[in-house]
């Protein structure tokens, strides 16, 4: 749900659906937004998958393929919560960006603190093997909503669908540094001989890449 609401186009679609008394089809929505039909259908699929909208085939007596119609789902409290968290993220990112002399460093440090909290610490005097550590970081980023993917050589984590994409575009030093710090803190807590060295934002419009390498203190 956070991923669905993190995109302004999907927010606009949802507002249109909520404001309509009748179900709408993708073509009509595309005309209203001035977007390509395929793009609007993809956004609608995300809203339906998140439970924010519903779809059904049109009942028609005339020949031809029935249209698929969309309407907003009910407004459970979790929808309001998700929108509130997104606004809170925007407010905090803007505050940090406007007041800190070293935005990226502060955000990365905060991320490391949370990364140490979000994974389970291994027993004393033990380390987490590389493969298990990578898998744990992958699970963590998946829980946070990134749809992560580990490359075959294990050197990169592909982060798809940032749950705070719009905020990250406006404040990459805050949001991307925070996410890098989370991975760093997690790996340190796991006592893995690995480190998250860098995070490349927006390698593609909805893809960031984190680089994982042997830690300097390994061994």
- CB-CB contact of 163 with 144 (8 Å): yes
- Is residue 129 domain-shared with residue 52, that is, in the same domain? no
In which band, very low, low, confident or very high, does the pLDDT at 219 lie, cut at 50, 70 and 90?
very low
Residue 96 near residue 174 (C-beta atoms within 8 A): yes
**Based on the domain organization, do 102 and 179 belong to the same domain?**
yes
Shared domain check, 113 and 70: no
Lowest model confidence (mean pLDDT) among 7-16, 129-138, 210-219: 210-219
Total domains in the chain come to: 2
Distance CA 181, CA 163 (A): 16
Burial of 215 (C-beta count, 10 Å sphere; 0-12/13-18/19+): middle
Average pLDDT over residues 95-110: 91
Q: Half-sphere exposure (CA, 13 Å, Cβ side) for 12?
A: 12
Which of 52, 75, 98 corresponds to the end of one domain?
75
- Is residue 61 very low, low, confident or very high in pLDDT (cuts 50, 70, 90)? low
Q: How confident is the model at residue 84 (pLDDT cuts 50, 70, 90)?
A: low
**Measured CA distances, 129 to 45, 71, 133, 191, 218 (Å):** 39, 48, 6, 9, 11
| 219 domain residue, yes or no | no
Q: What is the pLDDT of residue 82?
A: 56
168 shares a domain with 110: yes
Q: In whole angstroms, what is the distance from residue 197 CA to residue 214 CA?
A: 9
| Structural domain harbouring 196 | 79-214
The answer to whether position 106 is within a domain reads yes
Instruction: Quote the crossing angle between the two packed helices 77-99 and 172-189, to the nearest 10°.
Output: 100
Domain boundary residue, one of 51, 75, 99: 75
Question: Which of 75, 91, 107 is the C-terminal boundary of a domain?
Answer: 75
């Amino acid at each position: 749900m956070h991923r669905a609401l993190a995109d302004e186009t999907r927010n606009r679609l949802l507002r249109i659906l909520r404001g309509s008394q009748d179900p709408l089809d993708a073509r009509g929505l595309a005309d209203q937004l001035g977007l390509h039909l395929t793009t609007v259908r993809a956004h609608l699929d995300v809203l339906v998958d998140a439970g924010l909208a519903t779809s059904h085939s049109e009942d028609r007596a005339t020949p031809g393929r029935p249209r698929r119609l969309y309407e907003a789902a009910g407004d459970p409290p979790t929808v309001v919560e998700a929108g509130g968290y997104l606004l809170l993220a925007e407010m905090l990112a803007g505050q940090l960006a406007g007041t800190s002399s070293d935005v990226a460093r502060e955000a990365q440090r905060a991320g490391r603190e949370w990364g140490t909290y979000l994974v389970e610490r291994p027993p004393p005097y033990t380390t987490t093997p590389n493969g298990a550590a990578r898998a744990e970081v992958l699970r963590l980023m998946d829980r946070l909503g990134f749809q992560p993917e580990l490359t075959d050589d294990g050197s990169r984590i592909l982060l798809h669908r940032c749950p705070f994409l719009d905020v990250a575009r406006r404040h990459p030093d805050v949001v991307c540094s925070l996410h890098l710090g989370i991975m760093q803190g997690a790996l340190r807590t796991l006592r893995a001989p690995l480190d998250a060295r860098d995070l490349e934002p927006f390698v593609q419009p909805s893809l960031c890449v984190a680089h994982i390498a042997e830690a300097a203190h390994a061994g």
